[in-house]
Amino acid sequence: MDYDSDENKVYIPIIQDKCVKEILEKVWGIYKSFSAWSLRNLTHETDSPWDSSFERKLMFIHIPEEEVKKYYTKYITALLDEDEDD
């Protein structure tokens, strides 16, 4: 989704890929009611990419993209598998 403040319009992308659409709908269905702080807590859980990269005295630590991708691919796969079991 993108917002153009000059034209006061919201642009919503058309998702062609069925798998991507399914993932986005599942994620939205689960997390749409979460507060910003609740979402922050989820991303900072033990064993998350943030947790493994965090250093207490430093700010703005780089989290390797591959680590994020691996973690959330596993996470999303588990969510989708739960849906298939229902």
Q: What is the pLDDT of residue 12?
A: 83
Q: What is the token pair recorded at 59?
A: 């700010």
Query: Model-level pTM greater than 0.75?
Result: no
Q: What is the pLDDT of residues 13-68, one digit of tens each?
A: 889 999 899 888 988 998 999 999 999 999 999 999 998 888 877 777 889 999 99
Q: What is the pLDDT of residue 86?
A: 62
What is the rounded CA–CA span in Å between residue 36 and residue 51?
18
Instruction: Write the DSSP symbol of residue 44.
Output: T
H or E, element range at 54 = none
Say yes or no to pLDDT of 1 above 80.
no
Say yes or no to pLDDT of 5 above 80.
no
The CB density around residue 79, as the number of other CB atoms within 10 Å, is 13
